Structure 1
Amino acid sequence: MQDFPRWNLTSHGQFRVHSAYSVRMGVQFGPTEPLWKAIADFKGIPRIRTFIWLACLGKLLTNEVRCRRRITLDSRCHTCGFEVETIDHILRRCPVAYSLWCSLVCPEHCEIISI
Protein backbone atom coordinates (compact mmCIF):
# COMPACT_ATOMS: atom_id res chain seq x y z
CA MET A 1 0.00 0.00 0.00
CA GLN A 2 1.44 3.36 -1.06
CA ASP A 3 1.36 6.50 1.01
CA PHE A 4 -0.11 9.60 -0.69
CA PRO A 5 -0.14 13.24 0.44
CA ARG A 6 -3.60 14.49 1.40
CA TRP A 7 -4.91 18.09 1.59
CA ASN A 8 -7.02 18.12 4.77
CA LEU A 9 -9.00 21.23 3.86
CA THR A 10 -11.08 19.51 1.19
CA SER A 11 -13.32 16.48 1.57
CA HIS A 12 -11.64 14.60 -1.29
CA GLY A 13 -8.08 15.33 -0.13
CA GLN A 14 -6.95 17.14 -3.27
CA PHE A 15 -5.44 20.61 -3.13
CA ARG A 16 -7.65 23.46 -4.34
CA VAL A 17 -6.55 27.09 -4.65
CA HIS A 18 -9.91 28.19 -3.20
CA SER A 19 -9.32 26.29 0.05
CA ALA A 20 -5.77 27.65 0.40
CA TYR A 21 -7.02 31.19 -0.28
CA SER A 22 -9.76 30.76 2.34
CA VAL A 23 -7.21 29.72 4.95
CA ARG A 24 -4.86 32.58 4.03
CA MET A 25 -7.61 35.22 4.15
CA GLY A 26 -9.29 33.80 7.26
CA VAL A 27 -12.59 33.29 5.44
CA GLN A 28 -14.82 30.97 7.46
CA PHE A 29 -17.37 29.87 4.89
CA GLY A 30 -17.59 26.60 3.06
CA PRO A 31 -19.87 24.61 0.82
CA THR A 32 -21.84 23.29 3.81
CA GLU A 33 -23.32 26.69 4.69
CA PRO A 34 -26.67 27.16 2.90
CA LEU A 35 -26.02 30.68 1.56
CA TRP A 36 -22.69 29.84 -0.06
CA LYS A 37 -24.03 26.53 -1.37
CA ALA A 38 -27.00 28.33 -2.95
CA ILE A 39 -24.65 30.83 -4.62
CA ALA A 40 -22.35 28.05 -5.85
CA ASP A 41 -25.33 26.10 -7.23
CA PHE A 42 -26.82 29.16 -9.00
CA LYS A 43 -27.67 28.13 -12.57
CA GLY A 44 -27.85 31.60 -14.09
CA ILE A 45 -25.31 33.79 -15.82
CA PRO A 46 -21.86 33.53 -14.13
CA ARG A 47 -21.60 37.33 -13.97
CA ILE A 48 -24.77 37.43 -11.84
CA ARG A 49 -23.42 34.70 -9.54
CA THR A 50 -20.22 36.72 -9.11
CA PHE A 51 -22.24 39.85 -8.30
CA ILE A 52 -24.28 37.97 -5.66
CA TRP A 53 -21.11 36.48 -4.18
CA LEU A 54 -19.42 39.91 -3.97
CA ALA A 55 -22.56 41.50 -2.48
CA CYS A 56 -22.77 38.81 0.22
CA LEU A 57 -19.09 39.32 1.04
CA GLY A 58 -19.60 43.09 1.21
CA LYS A 59 -17.07 43.69 -1.56
CA LEU A 60 -19.07 45.79 -4.04
CA LEU A 61 -17.44 49.06 -5.05
CA THR A 62 -20.01 51.51 -3.68
CA ASN A 63 -19.55 55.26 -3.50
CA GLU A 64 -18.86 54.85 0.22
CA VAL A 65 -15.90 52.57 -0.57
CA ARG A 66 -14.77 54.72 -3.51
CA CYS A 67 -14.77 57.77 -1.23
CA ARG A 68 -12.77 55.94 1.45
CA ARG A 69 -10.23 54.89 -1.20
CA ARG A 70 -10.07 58.48 -2.47
CA ILE A 71 -11.37 57.55 -5.92
CA THR A 72 -14.18 60.08 -5.55
CA LEU A 73 -15.09 62.87 -3.15
CA ASP A 74 -18.82 62.15 -3.13
CA SER A 75 -20.20 59.20 -1.12
CA ARG A 76 -23.84 60.01 -1.94
CA CYS A 77 -26.16 57.76 -3.93
CA HIS A 78 -26.36 59.31 -7.39
CA THR A 79 -29.76 57.72 -7.99
CA CYS A 80 -31.69 59.18 -5.06
CA GLY A 81 -29.22 61.56 -3.40
CA PHE A 82 -29.04 59.69 -0.06
CA GLU A 83 -25.97 60.79 1.91
CA VAL A 84 -24.05 57.45 1.91
CA GLU A 85 -24.28 54.79 -0.79
CA THR A 86 -23.76 51.44 0.95
CA ILE A 87 -24.45 47.94 -0.34
CA ASP A 88 -27.60 47.78 1.80
CA HIS A 89 -28.77 51.09 0.36
CA ILE A 90 -28.11 50.05 -3.24
CA LEU A 91 -29.88 46.70 -2.93
CA ARG A 92 -32.74 47.49 -0.50
CA ARG A 93 -33.14 51.00 0.81
CA CYS A 94 -32.82 53.18 -2.30
CA PRO A 95 -36.34 54.12 -3.46
CA VAL A 96 -35.54 52.91 -6.99
CA ALA A 97 -34.35 49.50 -5.71
CA TYR A 98 -37.33 49.25 -3.35
CA SER A 99 -39.84 49.95 -6.14
CA LEU A 100 -38.12 47.32 -8.29
CA TRP A 101 -38.33 44.77 -5.45
CA CYS A 102 -42.02 45.57 -4.95
CA SER A 103 -42.69 44.97 -8.64
CA LEU A 104 -40.91 41.58 -8.49
CA VAL A 105 -42.22 40.11 -5.22
CA CYS A 106 -45.62 39.86 -3.56
CA PRO A 107 -46.70 43.11 -1.86
CA GLU A 108 -46.81 41.47 1.59
CA HIS A 109 -43.10 40.58 1.25
CA CYS A 110 -42.08 44.19 0.48
CA GLU A 111 -42.20 44.96 4.21
CA ILE A 112 -39.45 42.38 4.77
CA ILE A 113 -37.24 44.05 2.15
CA SER A 114 -37.52 47.49 3.73
CA ILE A 115 -36.50 46.32 7.23
Structure 2
Amino acid sequence: MLHLFFNRQNENKMITDFCSYYVLPSSVMKCKQYSTLRAAYSFYNAATETPWPALVQDMLITAKQLKFDVFNALDLMENKKFFQELKFGIGDGNLHYYLYNWRCSVAEPEKVAMILQ
Protein backbone atom coordinates (compact mmCIF):
# COMPACT_ATOMS: atom_id res chain seq x y z
CA MET A 1 0.00 0.00 0.00
CA LEU A 2 1.27 3.45 -0.89
CA HIS A 3 0.28 6.64 0.96
CA LEU A 4 0.58 9.98 -0.88
CA PHE A 5 0.33 13.49 0.55
CA PHE A 6 0.10 16.68 -1.49
CA ASN A 7 0.67 20.27 -0.49
CA ARG A 8 -1.21 22.91 -2.50
CA GLN A 9 -0.75 26.65 -2.77
CA ASN A 10 -3.90 28.58 -1.85
CA GLU A 11 -3.99 31.10 -4.69
CA ASN A 12 -3.69 28.81 -7.74
CA LYS A 13 -4.36 25.32 -6.31
CA MET A 14 -1.26 23.92 -8.02
CA ILE A 15 0.54 21.01 -6.41
CA THR A 16 3.87 22.38 -5.22
CA ASP A 17 5.13 19.59 -2.96
CA PHE A 18 4.36 15.97 -2.25
CA CYS A 19 5.62 13.11 -0.18
CA SER A 20 4.85 9.43 -0.13
CA TYR A 21 5.64 6.27 1.75
CA TYR A 22 4.87 2.61 1.33
CA VAL A 23 3.87 0.07 3.95
CA LEU A 24 5.90 -3.01 4.71
CA PRO A 25 4.55 -4.99 7.66
CA SER A 26 6.86 -7.52 9.31
CA SER A 27 5.93 -10.51 11.43
CA VAL A 28 7.02 -10.41 15.06
CA MET A 29 8.01 -13.88 16.18
CA LYS A 30 7.73 -15.32 19.66
CA CYS A 31 5.90 -12.34 21.12
CA LYS A 32 2.47 -12.77 22.66
CA GLN A 33 1.75 -9.05 22.82
CA TYR A 34 2.49 -8.13 19.16
CA SER A 35 2.21 -10.15 15.97
CA THR A 36 3.11 -7.46 13.41
CA LEU A 37 5.46 -4.50 13.19
CA ARG A 38 3.94 -1.83 10.94
CA ALA A 39 6.79 -0.10 9.12
CA ALA A 40 6.48 2.87 6.78
CA TYR A 41 9.23 3.55 4.24
CA SER A 42 9.75 6.94 2.63
CA PHE A 43 9.24 6.57 -1.13
CA TYR A 44 9.31 9.56 -3.49
CA ASN A 45 9.24 13.13 -2.23
CA ALA A 46 9.45 16.54 -3.92
CA ALA A 47 9.58 19.97 -2.32
CA THR A 48 9.51 23.27 -4.19
CA GLU A 49 7.71 25.58 -1.74
CA THR A 50 7.66 23.81 1.63
CA PRO A 51 10.97 23.30 3.48
CA TRP A 52 11.99 19.63 3.54
CA PRO A 53 11.82 19.22 7.33
CA ALA A 54 8.29 20.71 7.48
CA LEU A 55 7.04 18.51 4.64
CA VAL A 56 8.45 15.32 6.15
CA GLN A 57 7.29 16.32 9.65
CA ASP A 58 3.72 16.35 8.29
CA MET A 59 4.30 12.91 6.77
CA LEU A 60 5.58 11.59 10.12
CA ILE A 61 2.52 12.96 11.90
CA THR A 62 0.14 11.24 9.49
CA ALA A 63 2.08 7.97 9.78
CA LYS A 64 1.74 8.15 13.56
CA GLN A 65 -1.99 8.89 13.24
CA LEU A 66 -2.29 5.77 11.07
CA LYS A 67 -0.62 3.78 13.88
CA PHE A 68 2.70 2.91 12.25
CA ASP A 69 5.36 1.60 14.60
CA VAL A 70 8.43 2.85 12.73
CA PHE A 71 9.26 5.20 9.85
CA ASN A 72 12.33 4.54 7.70
CA ALA A 73 14.08 6.63 5.07
CA LEU A 74 17.17 5.76 3.06
CA ASP A 75 19.93 8.28 2.44
CA LEU A 76 18.85 8.68 -1.19
CA MET A 77 17.81 11.65 -3.30
CA GLU A 78 17.38 14.74 -1.09
CA ASN A 79 16.54 12.90 2.14
CA LYS A 80 19.65 14.21 3.93
CA LYS A 81 17.99 17.63 3.98
CA PHE A 82 15.73 16.53 6.84
CA PHE A 83 17.57 13.71 8.64
CA GLN A 84 19.40 15.76 11.26
CA GLU A 85 16.61 18.22 12.09
CA LEU A 86 14.00 15.47 12.43
CA LYS A 87 16.41 13.28 14.43
CA PHE A 88 16.54 10.29 12.09
CA GLY A 89 19.02 7.70 13.32
CA ILE A 90 21.50 5.90 11.11
CA GLY A 91 20.70 2.22 10.64
CA ASP A 92 23.25 -0.47 11.34
CA GLY A 93 22.48 -2.79 8.41
CA ASN A 94 24.27 -2.94 5.09
CA LEU A 95 22.01 -3.15 2.06
CA HIS A 96 23.23 -4.30 -1.34
CA TYR A 97 21.18 -3.82 -4.50
CA TYR A 98 21.95 -5.74 -7.67
CA LEU A 99 20.52 -4.89 -11.08
CA TYR A 100 20.96 -7.98 -13.25
CA ASN A 101 24.48 -8.35 -11.84
CA TRP A 102 25.64 -5.31 -13.79
CA ARG A 103 28.59 -3.43 -12.45
CA CYS A 104 28.48 0.29 -12.07
CA SER A 105 30.75 2.91 -10.63
CA VAL A 106 30.35 4.17 -7.08
CA ALA A 107 27.50 6.69 -6.74
CA GLU A 108 26.88 9.11 -3.90
CA PRO A 109 23.55 8.35 -2.11
CA GLU A 110 22.00 11.73 -2.97
CA LYS A 111 22.48 10.93 -6.69
CA VAL A 112 20.55 7.63 -6.46
CA ALA A 113 16.80 7.44 -6.98
CA MET A 114 16.12 3.71 -7.00
CA ILE A 115 13.90 2.20 -4.33
CA LEU A 116 13.17 -1.52 -4.23
CA GLN A 117 9.98 -2.80 -2.69
> TM over 0.5: same fold?
no
TM tier, smaller:
under 0.3
Q: Which has the higher strand share?
A: 2
Larger RCO of the pair (alpha carbons < 8 Å, separation 6+):
2
Q: Which has the higher helix share?
A: 1
Q: What is the TM-score normalised by the length of structure 2?
A: 0.25
